Amino acid sequence: MTTTSMPGPLSIRGMNPPSFAALPEETLIGKEGVNPNHVSISIETPKVEVITEKVSSKAQSSLSDYVYFAFKAWAVIDTVKIVRLGAIVAYANYLSKNEGVPFLSKIGIGADLGSCKSMVKLMKSLGGKDAMYNIVVLKAPLIEELLFRFVFQRIALKVFPQANAKKEDKAYYDSTPAKVERVLISSVLFSLAHLINLRVLPSSYVIPQLIGSFMSGIAWGVIQESSKFGILGTIGLHITNNYASHSITRLVCDYMRNA
């Protein structure tokens, strides 16, 4: 009787697995109870790594890169604008009080009656023209930049948390998302701080000031984060900005009052 052996589950290309039926039990098992000819083949199932979190983190990082790039572009625009305006106003001041106003009007820079009334009210509350100039142009920029850009943005939001973070988390505080967070937080706080002006100035003046200070805060926050000038650069730009805006209003208002 002829028996035909069918390919087993381990057959490869029609080859039957070897039959061990004729081998003695000792050969199969070995003297020590282990088959010395046994070849163990282990097939490890590849681990499927959940990458949702990594993809989400990468997407957030890319978004932060775009946002921070926009912030840096705005910082350049704002810096050029402030330096240019400061130079124009310095030249207008040089021309003399009455000649400076026509010069400013020719290039489309001026102040309305509402701004003049607000300035007079602010000047009286601060103790006079010279006192207001010293506070608005010199003291306020210095104090605000040290408080919001140095103490809040750098020390409170970066240095302290990074020093107390776990070793594997320290690098995050140097990342782009962390920089964007710090710039936004410091800018919002800087903007809200100007609500104090509602004590002496109308909301029609303060609300635009809130928006302007938020935008300037973004530019100065980026300079604090990514410029070699750091806090000194933000202080210098802040002083130039306040000098230009304050001097324009003062020139125009003095001219309107004396006309």
Beta bridge partners of 69: none
User: Residue 56: inside a domain, yes or no?
Assistant: no
% of the chain exceeding 70 in pLDDT: 76
Structure tokens at 175: 């990342």
**Is 32 inside a domain boundary?**
no
- Is 97 within the bounds of a domain? yes
In a domain, 1, yes or no: no
Which position has the token pair 């163990």?
Answer: 40
Q: What is the dihedral of CA 258, 128, 116, 100, to 10 degrees?
A: 50
Looking at the domain assignment, is residue 49 inside a domain? Answer: no
Predicted confidence at residue 28, as pLDDT, reads: 47
Report how far residue 205's alpha carbon sits from residue 196's, in angstroms, rounded to the nearest whole number: 12
User: Residue 22 pLDDT more than 60?
Assistant: no
- How far apart are alpha carbons 131 and 123 in whole angstroms? 8
Q: Examine the pLDDT at 18 and tell me if it is beyond 90.
A: no
Q: Number of folded domains in the chain?
A: 1
In a domain, 8, yes or no: no
Determine the pLDDT at residue 136.
93
Distance of CA 52 to the CA centre of its chain: 25
Q: Kindly state the average pLDDT of the residues 175-180.
A: 95
Q: pTM here?
A: 0.74
Q: Kindly state the tokens that stand for 136.
A: 């608005």
The upper half-sphere exposure of residue 93, i.e. CA atoms within 13 Å in the direction of its Cβ, equals 14
How far apart are the C-alpha atoms of 51 and 100, rounded to whole Å?
A: 64
Task: Please report which residue ranges of the chain form alpha helices under DSSP H.
Answer: 25-29, 52-95, 97-106, 113-126, 129-133, 140-144, 160-164, 176-193, 203-226, 230-258
Examine residue 169 and state whether it is found in any structural domain, yes or no: yes
The pLDDT, as a whole number, for residue 41 is 53
In a domain, 124, yes or no: yes
Q: Among the residues of 127-202, which ranges form H helices?
A: 129-133, 140-144, 160-164, 176-193
Tokens for 178, please give them: 């962390």
Q: Nearest Cα to 235, choosing from 226, 244, 223?
A: 223
Model confidence pLDDT, tens digit, residues 114-128: 888 888 888 888 888
Q: Supply 154's token pair.
A: 């750098």
187-224 core/surface letters (b: 16 or more CB in 10 A; e: else): beebbeebeebeeebeeebbeebbeebbebbbbbbbbb
Question: What single-letter DSSP state applies at residue 71?
Answer: H
Using an 8 Å Cβ cutoff, are 157 and 187 in contact?
A: no
- Provide mean pLDDT across the span 122-151: 92
224 close to 234: Cβ distance less than 8 angstroms: yes
C-beta separation of 191 from 148 below 8 A? no
pLDDT, one tens digit per residue, over 95-106 is: 877 788 888 888
Whether the CB-CB separation of 162 and 170 falls below 8 Å is answered with yes
Task: Print the domain residue range for 193.
Answer: 69-258
Q: 225 and 218 in contact (C-beta within 8 Å)?
A: no
